[in-house]
């Protein structure tokens, strides 16, 4: 990374904007003759200024093309076109009954149940198959 000149960082922009005059402007000009970093920064400032002036001229040219008296009426026409568009013919399912919504809900339920079963279920809980075959010791002793 290139090191910035502290003198240029402090005075170069003010010099470019014309806020420095007299002896200080002369010092900045003398510094610019020897400091390549400040020369590059000043060239960047000029390029930015030139580009912004070109953009300003382009914007002003485009703004001159706008019929400002017609603009509100054109906006109103567009709004009326949007509002008065015919509604689709036929019957449409409500949003909550569309297939994509229903499929999303079903997938969410399946994923939620799987997450509960594998991740959130307490580890000490017995399954139904384990409960069906459990018998007391006394019952087993009776048969002998």
Number of domains in the chain: 1
Q: Which residues, other chains included, contact 16 with Cβ-Cβ below 8 Å and sequence gap of 6+?
A: 42, 45, 46
State which residues of the chain have pLDDT below 50: 1
pLDDT of amino acid 8: 83
Q: Give the pLDDT confidence score for residue 138 in this predicted structure.
A: 73
In a domain, 64, yes or no: yes
Within a domain: 92: no
In a domain, residue 42? The reply is yes
Domain membership of residue 141 (yes or no) is no
pLDDT score at 1: 36
What is the token pair recorded at 48? Answer: 């930015």
In a domain, 18, yes or no: yes
Q: Which pair of structure tokens corresponds to residue 58?
A: 């382009």
Q: Which of 48, 28, 47 is nearest to 38 (CA)?
A: 28
The boundaries of the domain holding residue 43 are 6-68
Is 51 inside a domain boundary? Answer: yes
């Amino acid at each position: 990374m290139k090191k910035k000149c502290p003198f240029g960082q402090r005075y170069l922009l003010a010099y470019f904007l014309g806020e420095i005059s007299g002896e200080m402007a002369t010092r900045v000009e003398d510094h610019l003759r020897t400091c390549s970093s400040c020369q590059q920064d000043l060239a960047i400032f000029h390029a930015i200024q030139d580009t912004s002036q070109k953009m300003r001229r382009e914007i002003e040219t485009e703004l001159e093309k706008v019929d400002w008296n017609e603009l509100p009426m054109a906006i109103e026409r567009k709004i009326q076109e949007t509002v008065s568009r015919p509604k689709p013919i036929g019957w449409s399912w409500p949003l909550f009954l569309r297939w994509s919504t229903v499929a999303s809900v079903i997938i969410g339920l399946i994923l939620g149940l799987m997450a509960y079963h594998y991740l959130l279920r307490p580890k000490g809980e017995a399954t139904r198959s384990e409960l069906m075959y459990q018998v007391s010791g006394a019952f087993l002793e009776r048969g002998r």
